[in-house]
A and B are shown apart, each in its own frame.
Chain A
Amino acid sequence: MTLSMSAQSFQIAFVVWRESLEALLVVGILVTWSLKSAPDKGRLAMRAIAAGVVWGLVLATALAALTNYAASAFNGQVEDIVQMLIAFAACLLIIRMVFWMRRIEKGATGDLSAQAMARTSGQDWLGLVALTALAVAREGAETVLFLYGILSSTEVNLGRGVLPAGAGLLLAAATYWSFKLGSFGIPKRKFLGVSQGLLLALGSGLMMTAIDKAISIELVSPMSAPLWDSSWLLDDSSGFGAFLAGVIGYRSRPELLPVLGMAIYWATTSFAFVRPIDARLSA
């Protein structure tokens, strides 16, 4: 009994940690990047991100309520549609954000730096607000539902639900802080590359979610039968494969549309890392 109870507590803590991690990663990357790349605009960036977190929490609660009360009235369609729009918007914002980051970094060594920062307009800050909000809202909604579920449980008590859930939140916060502290030790150039890579990986998961929802509500066709089956290597329905499926959009039996979507996503984003022609000529 005690064993199964502690296993359950671990389960609860793990779920809360996992669900909060993606949102915290996005927030952590944006905060650290802003402080490193634009120290003079740090205060503005922090305010934008904080606004995004607040909006995200509001939206997360609204989403959770929608899922809980309104969704069954429309065969669950509304929920899927809203999730699709959020995932797609967040994915576009990540692409835009990475291009923006690259633009500023490219200028950072030359006299372009001042120009790039001067061009950092209200739109870019709004992008920061919106991306933070959507990242918090998407993952936050599941956390809210999960916590609501624990609290509405018939056998709810401190040891069984609330404490492990709190531990999960603390763990997520600790992960966030270690990420932030760790980032001070990493050389700036490396940190920038890693954080953009992480953002792009999360964007790839968002892109896959948007495609999945679009297929699920029959907005688009998957275009083919599954092209291959890599579930013998890594199954997207259990353990680590399922975790990867959620975070970066891994699929073990993808059809043509998801494969095309991924190809277009990575082709587009790779342009952010191509060195401009004049830089290559002078090198």
Chain B
Amino acid sequence: MSPLAFPSFLAGFVLIAATLPAAADQEYPTFEVHFSNGIVSPSVIEVPANSRFKLELRNEGSTPIEFESTALRKEKVLAPGASSFIVFHPLDPGNYAFFDDFHLDMPPARIVAR
């Protein structure tokens, strides 16, 4: 096998990722979500339908969490004490469940787009 093939394959990945345009830094309606060892608050987040919005995620517990939504196709891992954000594209009105993938025994929370 060519020893260079795999590294160049990887380099290709990184190049493609780096050249793709970053979404413009706009001001979106922003909502905060707090995580603490599997407890999500608020457990229901109301967001405007048909417009982009941003979720600010904060992990205030003592274990890592992973925001995950199969319906919204987003996932994000946060270390204890860490915070980050996710920008969502416009949603149709409706209910979208999300959960903490590192605490699957806890009930899911949801985003409600109106």
A interface residues, Cβ below 8 angstroms from B: 8, 11-12, 15, 48, 55, 59, 67-68, 71-78, 81-82, 85-86, 122-123, 125-126, 129-130, 133, 142, 145-146, 148-150, 152-155, 160-161, 212-213, 215-216, 218, 225, 235-239, 242-243, 245-246, 251-253
Contact = CB atoms under 8 A, between A and B. Distances in A.
Contacts of A122: 1-2
Given A145-B77, A149-B64, A153-B79, A73 B22 contact: yes
Interface in B49-82: 62-64, 66, 68-71, 73-74, 76-82
A152 B79 contact: yes
B62 A239 contact: no
A119 to B, nearest CB: 15
A242 B62 contact: no
A18 B31 CA distance: 31
Interface string B70-113: 11011011111110111101001000011101111101100000
A239 B1 contact: no
Given A81-B20, A239-B104, A149 B13 contact: no
A149 B17 contact: no
B113 to A, nearest CB: 13
Given A59-B10, A152-B80, A146 B102 contact: yes
B64 A150 contact: yes
A218 B89 contact: yes
A76 B87 contact: yes
Nearest to A81: B17
A15 B78 CA distance: 14
Contact of B98 (A142, A235, A237): A237
30 contacts: A8-B37, A8-B63, A11-B105, A68-B79, A75-B22, A75-B23, A75-B25, A77-B22, A81-B20, A85-B16, A122-B1, A126-B2, A129-B1, A142-B66, A145-B79, A146-B64, A148-B79, A149-B63, A150-B64, A154-B81, A213-B73, A235-B108, A237-B70, A237-B97, A237-B98, A237-B99, A237-B108, A238-B99, A238-B104, A242-B101
Closest 8 interchain pairs by CB? A149-B64, A149-B79, A237-B97, A74-B22, A216-B73, A212-B73, A153-B80, A75-B23
Contacts of B25: 75
A142 B70 contact: no
A103 to B, nearest CB: 19
Contacts of B79: 68, 145, 148-149, 152-153
Contact of A67 (B62, B77, B101): B77
Given A82-B17, A126-B6, A145-B64, A237 B71 contact: yes
A76 to B, nearest CB: 6
B4 to A, nearest CB: 11
B22 A11 contact: no
B42 to A, nearest CB: 17
A89 B98 CA distance: 27
A11 B106 CA distance: 11
The listed residue with most A CB atoms (<10 A of its CB), out of B9, B73, B79, is B73
